Amino acid sequence: MDLMAQNVDDATFVVVDVETTGMSAVEDRMTEIAMMKVRNGVLIDEFSTLINPLVTISNFITDLTGIDNLMVRDAPTAREIMPNVAEFLEDSVFVAHNAAFDWGFVSHAARRERGIELENPQLCTVKLSRKILPTLASRSLGPLSQFLDVTIPQRHRASGDAYATALILIKFISYLKKKHSLQTVEEIFRFQNGAKFADVPQ
């Protein structure tokens, strides 16, 4: 069945967070990835690993993430893990907080390291938050999580950020089902991209 036509309760969403050596998916490399698989409002599986970027991690990045060169020395490389990542993402909606960033790193690494072309549709919890919470002062993960009463186990580490984003996604989908009666994956994407939906009478 076409993923976009699926009922949101039947579809698989994989919430992804990556830590990296910098901001460029072309020039920089991943140092950690976490993926949380969500279906029908429940976290059903997860995959996470440190990644040896094969380049030096700067002090700035270590200060931000806590990940240093010693931690990743014996970790698998992106070339080693990308088949596992691609398999985990199969037939799912790719979700991230600022999805363009995480998708850029994951899809570029898959292509560069293994010649794998990932084709998952990308749902962004930042874009959803702009539509659902238009008056919120900041939509970065910390303030958004605090507003929604979601605890981030470890900020700026992939597993902690992905877990918090997964809980936010579950809250957002529940809200869209109740408030706007959205039922399919396609309707969630249309809402993200600016389509107007009538409120459901209470």
Catalytic residues: 156
Question: What separation, in Å, do the N-terminal and C-terminal C-alpha atoms of the chain show?
Answer: 32
Tokens representing residue 52 in the block: 């040896």
Are the beta carbons of 36 and 14 closer than 8 angstroms? yes
Rounded to whole angstroms, how far apart are CA atoms 61 and 46?
25
Rounded to whole angstroms, how far apart are CA atoms 95 and 31?
19
Tokens representing residue 192 in the block: 């993200």
Rounded to whole angstroms, how far apart are CA atoms 49 and 57?
16
Tally of CA atoms within 13 A in the half-sphere of 141 that contains its CB: 24
Can you count the helices (H) and strands (E) in the chain? 8, 5
